[in-house]
Amino acid sequence: MRFCANLLSLMVLGLTACGGADTPGYSFTINDVSVTSAYKSLDVHLRQGLELSEQAREALEHGITLTISLEMELRSDNNMIAVRRDTRLYMLRYLPLNESYQLQDDRSGEKWAFPRLRHLFAALAELDVRLDTGPLPPGSYELRTRIRLDESRLPAPMRLPTWYSAQWQHDSEWSVWPFELNA
């Protein structure tokens, strides 16, 4: 019995040490979202913070394409039923021949080149997205958003190790942004 108690306290101590109180110097966060109603759609403006870990930066600079996934879910506030879900993908590449970084919007196919990675992240920090909804009745709604590094789009040999490495955990928490639609 005493052995089990000692083992349990040792496990708790080990898990606490692994978690640590230190926050990493990398993460993705959604800082602010504003929603404006348009004809059968919503115009969403997002302000976010993006910082890659050292391992993710190294992979990018060695030719690995990184995919950032922006997930949005529109819910009706009175019954919390999801009205619309949408995911936007942004691919980040390093182009060694001209020593620049490329950002590609998966949906439009548009590509932009940046001389530095921080310039690319500055472009991603303020996003304007149109969310097609169809006609929406007036009322209270909430937009849930999160941004994450999509490990499932990495090359196959890299996927399993990234699931267990803290250096690849960049996902923001789901954030909720309430708003009203008037007639």
pLDDT tens by residue, 88-127: 999 999 999 999 999 999 999 999 999 999 999 999 999 9
Q: What is the mean pLDDT of residues 71-93?
A: 90
Q: Residue 124: give the domain boundaries.
A: 25-181
Which of 2-6, 37-41, 99-103 is least confident?
Answer: 2-6
Residue 149 lies in a domain: yes
Residue 3 lies in a domain: no
* CATH code of residue 133: 2.60.40.10
Residue 183: pLDDT band (50, 70, 90) is low
Q: What is the mean pLDDT of residues 43-59?
A: 93
| Residue 111 contacts residue 173 (beta carbons within 8 Å) | no
Task: Answer yes or no: is pLDDT of 47 > 80.
Answer: yes
Task: Answer yes or no: is pLDDT of 3 > 90.
Answer: no
Residue 18 lies in a domain: no
What pLDDT was estimated at residue 134? 87
Residue 10 lies in a domain: no
Number of domains the chain contains: 1
What pLDDT was estimated at residue 15? 35
Residue 91 lies in a domain: yes
Residue 15 lies in a domain: no
Neighbours of 89 (CB within 10 A): 14
Residue 17 lies in a domain: no
| Residue 42 contacts residue 35 (beta carbons within 8 Å) | yes
For the chain, the average pLDDT equals 84
Q: What is the mean pLDDT of residues 149-159?
A: 88
Task: Answer yes or no: is pLDDT of 25 > 80.
Answer: no
Residue 41 lies in a domain: yes
